[in-house]
Amino acid sequence: MSTFKAPKGTYDLIPPDSAKYLAVRDAIAAPLRNSGYGYIETPGFESVELFARGVGESTDIVTKEMYAFETKGGDRLALRPEGTASVLRAALEANLHKAGNLPVKLWYSGSYYRYERPQKGRYRHFSQVGAEAIGAEDPALDAELIILADQAYRSLGLRDFRILLNSLGDQECRPVYRAALQDFLRGLDLDEETLRRADINPLRVLDDKRDDVQKQLVGAPLLRDYLCDACKAYHEEVRELITAAGVSFEDDAKLVRGLDYYTRTTFEFVHDGLGSQSAVGGGGRYDGLSEMIGGPALPSVGWALGVDRTVLALEAEGVTLELPASTSVFAVPLGDEARRVLFGVVSELRRNGVAADFSYGAKGLKGAMKNANRSGARYTVVAGERDLAEGVVQLKDMESGEQVAVGVNEIVAELESRLS
């Protein structure tokens, strides 16, 4: 009989590995929760048009990687390939920008979908935690987000990541640079598709991963030489604030990021332990995105960090996360009366916040103790008919192997005091 398998390029998260992913999500979210960001959740699919406009018609994401489909009702939808456009759409729809304080600060966590060639660290379904600060143009906000991501990674024990930083200018200075770059690119020996991309969005060509293209790009004009005074001053302040917070970064004049909506600050977190897919996350400022999707002018900045990539980075550095044991107490009943009594004990422990589990399926002592071992519990409570006749249960410390008899009525209090 054939069994079903997960679709190509996807993965299932299964215990005990999944605990790592949860810990990474929590660690990334913790500094955000602590800094005024509220949680937002959006649908897994949106109108195709939202991403075509928001992410950009010329991007690989929209032209090659998006899962688009038509519904029975004739709507054109797409599985979300990234989070920012959806979060901004939701914020605009709910009028959050009119509700009071700007910026509106939001964080999210979820699965995203891109149809691309699966390889280590790059899947067709992947999970991200992201943050967006909507409706304020302030270098301190850009700096805050970079610092919070740095803090999240350091709290996990990651050390060997680098932060790359650049400015993409704004609608004043970028067109001048864009024209200069287009002139330069037209003089190169590029294939037709790349030349077409150079016409629509020449900055995307700088991001081309092919060696023969990168070799030709040596000597290409650099955006930083074209920045207007306002963009230069803005970028300088972002750099000063990050530096003052003790966060180190590298200036990378070629960093463009793969989405059309970025302006000014743009950054990427890379980890050299991941091979060719070295980016673990990134983001930037996207001052024009709100207007692109039909909203008012709302300058904004955000990032998304890959959960799967971060887990790979931790593995590359050999960092093991301190994960709490999923079970602290395991109960082994021998006989019907013991089942009733110990099930009551387990229920009470759980109500009191102690992680407890039970030997189900009427196993003998040997099989049940194997389960107790596998559960990772610190204590096992065993009771048979004779113990209960004496009004006690046996409490075994799984680390020392020491075993003591404890009164049935005292066992919950005893375990709580030992575990606190």
Nearest Cα to 305, choosing from 96, 70, 32, 3?
32
Q: How many residues does the chain have?
A: 420
CA–CA–CA angle 7, 10, 12 (5° rounding): 100
Tell me the C-alpha distance between 178 and 163, whole Å. Answer: 25
> What spatial distance separates the first Cα and last Cα of the chain, rounded to whole Å?
50
- Residue at 258 is within a domain: yes
Does 323 fall in a domain?
no
pLDDT of 111: 95
Q: Once rounded to an integer, what is the mean pLDDT over residues 357-375?
A: 92
- What single letter denotes the amino acid at residue 274? L
Alpha-carbon distance of 205 to 207, in angstroms, equals: 5
Do 137 and 233 reside in the same domain of the chain? yes
Amino acid at 416: E
Predicted pLDDT at 1: 62
Question: Are residue 254 and residue 403 in the same domain, yes or no?
Answer: no
Model pLDDT, residue 172: 87
User: Residue 205: its pLDDT value, please?
Assistant: 84
Is residue 211 pLDDT above 90, yes or no?
A: no
Q: Is residue 149 part of a domain?
A: yes
Most distant pair of Cα atoms in the chain: their distance: 93
Residues 152 and 38 in one domain: yes
pLDDT at 273: 85
**Confidence band, pLDDT 50/70/90 cuts, at residue 257:** low
Query: How far lies 110's CA from each of 45, 163, 257, 307, in Å?
Result: 12, 23, 21, 10
Q: Which residues face 76 on adjacent strands? A: 70
Buried b (16+ CB within 10 A) or exposed e, 83-117: bbbbbbbbbbeeebbeeeebbbbbbbbbebbbeee
Residue 121, judged by CB atoms within 10 A of its CB (0-12, 13-18, 19+), counts as buried
Structural domain of residue 358, as residue ranges?
329-419
Same domain, 161 and 293: yes
| Class of residue 210 by CB neighbours under 10 A (exposed 0-12, middle 13-18, buried 19+) | exposed
Mean pLDDT of all residues in 370-399: 95
Q: Is residue 44 part of a domain?
A: yes
Q: What is the pLDDT of residue 372?
A: 94
Report the CATH number that the domain containing residue 399 is assigned in CATH. 3.40.50.800
255 and 117 belong to one structural domain? yes
In this structure, what CATH number is given to the domain that contains residue 145? Answer: 3.30.930.10
Indicate whether 138 and 235 sit together in one domain: yes
Mean pLDDT on 35-44:
97
In the predicted model, what is the mean pLDDT of residues 363-380? 93
Higher pLDDT among residues 296 and 208, named by residue: 296
Q: Are residues 259 and 399 in the same domain?
A: no
pLDDT at 61 over 90: no
Residue 365 belongs to a domain: yes
Q: Tell me: do 273 and 239 sit in the same domain.
A: yes
**Does 24 map to a domain?**
yes
- For residue 132, what pLDDT is reported? 98
**313 and 231 in a common domain:** yes
280: confidence class by pLDDT, cuts 50, 70, 90: very high
Q: Is the confidence at residue 275, as pLDDT, over 80?
A: no
Residues 338 and 248 in one domain: no
d(CA 213, CA 205): 8
Number of independent structural domains in the chain? 2
Helix residue ranges, H only, 201-331: 203-206, 211-216, 229-244, 289-292, 307-317
Would you give the DSSP letter of residue 172? T
Q: Model's pTM, two decimal places? A: 0.89
- 2 domain residue, yes or no: no
Could you give the 3-state DSSP secondary structure of residue 41? Answer: coil
Residues 6 or more apart whose Cβ sits within 8 Å of residue 366: none
Residue 169 and residue 32 share a domain: yes
Residue 400: inside a domain: yes
**C-alpha span between 243 and 59 (Å, rounded):** 33
Could you list the beta-strand ranges (E) of 11-146: 38-39, 45-47, 68-70, 76-79, 104-113, 125-134
